[in-house]
Structure 1
């Protein structure tokens, strides 16, 4: 923390000016102590923050798929202690927070590719980002599935509980999900108040409804022929019954309370069918929910920020930011 002292003022970090005419050294030291306490309580850059009491992110298993040591591509393979990584805005704070839910087919959580790289981009545009490391669904287990759902739900509440210290507007908290992570983002958007049996403190009484949602190359539908099979099996097991497809497809759960939604996908996606985006778009339109859909001719699956692409898919994050700002201006 930088401190400048003169006869009539004390200047502390970030250009903030506090006037103290003829301040005594005793009063200054008392003020400095208070300032140090304040800054120590503020979240620091890229800080791991547990979302549940007693969680310890050091227990989570990590692999690095990168072939370039200077560009990490880490993935989480096992999560015993869910947390999120706070990435603060690097420019003027726009007081908007985004919970980023990376994908990985529920075999991995793509921490860098669909997490920190996206957060770094958003931080340059004034957003506060929180990259979620969640407990993954596995084998169709009710417990594992509900753990994942509740981790997303809890994270949105946790962000709101931190809003004052991080200069975030409590009604400008959104969620952005990638691939399988988009299913979790859609679920909390459609059913924010669902009880998954994990409510245990004051934070859980805060709203879990996102103020806006972004679904990027999403897995949305559980219907045979449209869904991503590995994602569906992790969530609901190996059964291919039509009942599961109808009951748990997120496009069938959209309501008028579903938040404004941004969707982006490439038509040449060989992992998640573009039908997922089209079905969700149609459902949102029928409920008169504000929705914007971008279908790119090229981009494949897992295009992350679009960096390095020479096709229009490289512009999707800029399109998202413009859309999100238009949501703010409309309210």
Structure 2
């Protein structure tokens, strides 16, 4: 199967190259960027004598003729325009931006960009791989989830679907490494500002908030608006979500671990930690795993959920390739069986 990548010079695009270069079923047919006519290794020297392909201009008709799947690793506000160019062409589109995840009015409010046509966004399937396999398999247009929503939703889904928590009690404490902000220059992600520092940002206004709420409401109509607070960690990769929810039933940690283990029994990328052990971001770095730990506080009746992912892998490129595997009928783990990097 031939695949193309648009937006190859960003971190998500670089991760797609790393994964797809060794994928046994996908062949990188072409790579594209607004920067063009020079080899990708000049942008990313670690690819020297590994991937020497030149960046090409973006011609949707030519890409659709040559490839079976195109990955859009371009910023929000751009990906939606590109997705529209591929509409009605014989190619599957996997968009890593937020352009296809929300209704137009909600998107404009939170992303501050003009939304794509509603007729296009309504065709997109939300690509949370573990939960929407059949929909993904039947679609040609996938809205790859955001990094924060992936870790959050995988952590919350079992108790939200089983309706064992108070629907108005969800509080999410989210932390991400600086690569989540991309390669653009910004003061807060510069070394001097981020190193040996810990910063809260976008308090009560992060654009992933409505995406999380939309999916939680799909599983339980009674879910109320959530509290979602994001922080910047002085690390390159990784996301840790700590979610606090009030239980509506008298359940202990062991019982809830059984629920999670049964829910994710056939999902190889979800690892439920044993009782009283909790994951850290380094334990999933460079991999497509999501590790989840749980603990019920019997004093308060609250459940604490810890969910960790690599934001560039399970939170972006890894899940995008997982979705491509599902579309093509391959094993979900194909080309993604990386052991996490440690230390």
**TM-score, normalisation: structure 2:** 0.33
Is the radius of gyration larger for structure 1 or structure 2? 1
**TM-score, normalisation: structure 1:** 0.34
Q: Which structure's relative contact order is higher, taking Cα pairs within 8 Å and 6+ residues apart?
A: 2
